[in-house]
C-alpha cells in the first residue's frame, strides 16, 4: 500500500486546532481494487459505528470517493485507522485533503 495508516493519522493531525464544536471534513480518493468488492457497503457500515457523517461513492475512473466529517478530529482518526486495516489488501493509494464542512450533511450514505 502506498499510503500508510500512520500517514493517514499524520494527515488528519495536521488540521487546524479544532474546538469540540467545529466540524472537520476530509475528502479522500481511494485507488486500487476498490470497486466490486463491497468497499462502499463496508465503509458505510463502519461509518455508522462512529459519530460521523458523509458519503462514499464509486467514480467512473475505478476509484472511490469518500467525504467524511465529524465534530471531533479524533473520531476521523479512528475511522480512517479502522478503514485502512479493513481494506489493507485493496487500497494501493489514498489522496486525502481537508475541505470545508457541510453542516447540512446529517447522516452517512452510499451515494450513486
Exactly one of 40, 42, 90, 106 is catalytic; which is it? 40
* Residues 34, 4: Cα–Cα separation, whole Å: 16
* Residues 38, 46: Cα–Cα separation, whole Å: 12
* Residues 108, 69: Cα–Cα separation, whole Å: 9
Exactly one of 33, 42, 58, 109 is catalytic; which is it? 58
Q: Is 72 among the residues known to form the active site?
A: no
Q: Is 42 among the residues known to form the active site?
A: no
34 neighbors 61 (Cβ within 8 angstroms): no
Q: Which residues does the annotation mark as catalytic? A: 40, 58
Amino acid at each position: 500500500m502506498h499510503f500508510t495508516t500512520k500517514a493517514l493519522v499524520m494527515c488528519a493531525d495536521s488540521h487546524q486546532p479544532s474546538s469540540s464544536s467545529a466540524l472537520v471534513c476530509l475528502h479522500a480518493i481511494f485507488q486500487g481494487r476498490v470497486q466490486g468488492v463491497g468497499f462502499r457497503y463496508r465503509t458505510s457500515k463502519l461509518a455508522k459505528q462512529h459519530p460521523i457523517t458523509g458519503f462514499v461513492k464509486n467514480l467512473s475512473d475505478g476509484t472511490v470517493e469518500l467525504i467524511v466529517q465529524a465534530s471531533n478530529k479524533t473520531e476521523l482518526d479512528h475511522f480512517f485507522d479502522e478503514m485502512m486495516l479493513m481494506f489493507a489488501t485493496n487500497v494501493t493509494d489514498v489522496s486525502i485533503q481537508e475541505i470545508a464542512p457541510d453542516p447540512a450533511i446529517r447522516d452517512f450514505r452510499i451515494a450513486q
